[in-house]
Amino acid sequence: MTEKTDKIKSDNPSANAEKQRRFRERQREAGKKLVRGYVSPEAMACYDEIRDKTGWSDSEVLSNSLRVLFAAYKCGQIKLLNEWLKDHKR
């Protein structure tokens, strides 16, 4: 690296950490909770309902939800899945 790029990086090494901290605070203030990403309270309620009904762990919920989504995609049923979710306010 050149001296100029070394100087830029060493001026404020915690700038990225500060940005991440502010982002996490904004997400918490918006009522979102960190699961595998920030989710809204409504999405968290759905997530908790799935875990309660199935007894699945976090990784099992993610894996199985991706399987359902992929199966709907492969069968051309994404529109049907979206309509069901809207009808059931999910």
The tens digit of pLDDT for each residue in 25-76 reads 888 888 877 776 777 888 888 888 999 999 998 889 889 989 999 999 999 9
Same-domain status, 50 and 30:
yes
Residue 89 has what pLDDT? Answer: 80
Residue 31 has what pLDDT? Answer: 83
Same-domain status, 33 and 23:
yes
| Burial class of residue 80 (count of CB atoms within 10 Å of its CB; 0-12, 13-18, 19+) | exposed
Residue 40 has what pLDDT? Answer: 83
Using CA atoms, how far residue 55 sits from 34, 52, 58, in Å, is: 20, 6, 10
Domain of residue 64, residue span = 57-90
pTM above 0.75, yes or no: no
The tens digit of pLDDT for each residue in 9-18 reads 556 768 888 8
Q: How many folded domains does the chain comprise?
A: 2
Same-domain status, 45 and 33:
yes
